[in-house]
C-alpha cells in the first residue's frame, strides 16, 4: 500500500500526487477483487473434486454401486470442473 503526500510544489505536482494516490487505490481494489476471484474459483473446484473423490472411494469400498443416477451425478461434477478449464 503505497501513497504519496502532496509535495506542495505547485498545482501540477499536487495533482500528480493525487492522481498517483488514486491509481494506487484503484490497483489495491483490483488486487482485492483478484484475490477474491481466485478464492472463489478454488472453492468452486474443491466441491466437485470432493464429491468425485467420495463417490469413487464409496464405489471402491462397495458401499455404493454405480447406478445410472450416480453416473449422471459424476458426469455433472466432471462437467463443472471442465467449465473452469
Q: What are the tens digits of pLDDT across the range 41-62?
A: 888 888 889 989 999 999 999 9
| Domain tally, the chain | 1
22 in Cβ contact with 3 (< 8 Å): no
DSSP string, the chain: --------S-HHHHHHHHHHHHHHHHHHHHHHHHHHHHHHHHHHHHHHHHHHHHHHHHHHHTSS---HHHHHHHHHHHHHHHHT-
pLDDT bin (cut points 50, 70, 90) of residue 33 is very high
Q: What range defines the domain where residue 37 resides?
A: 11-83
What does the alpha-carbon distance between residue 44 and residue 33 come to, in Å, rounded to a whole number? 16
Residue 16 placed within a domain: yes
Residue 5 placed within a domain: no
Residue 6 placed within a domain: no
The CATH number linked to 43 is: 1.10.287.130
pLDDT bin (cut points 50, 70, 90) of residue 3 is confident
Q: Answer yes or no: is pLDDT of 85 > 80.
A: no
The pLDDT assigned to 37 comes to 94
Residue 79 placed within a domain: yes
To the question of pTM greater than 0.95 for the whole model, the response is: no
Amino acid at each position: 500500500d503505497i501513497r504519496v503526500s502532496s509535495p506542495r510544489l505547485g498545482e501540477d505536482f499536487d495533482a500528480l500526487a493525487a492522481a498517483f494516490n488514486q491509481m494506487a487505490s484503484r490497483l489495491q481494489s483490483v488486487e482485492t477483487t483478484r484475490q477474491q476471484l481466485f478464492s472463489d474459483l478454488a472453492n468452486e473446484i474443491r466441491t466437485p473434486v470432493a464429491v468425485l473423490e467420495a463417490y469413487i472411494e464409496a464405489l471402491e469400498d462397495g458401499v455404493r454401486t454405480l447406478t445410472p443416477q450416480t453416473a449422471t451425478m459424476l458426469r455433472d461434477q466432471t462437467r463443472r470442473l471442465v467449465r473452469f478449464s
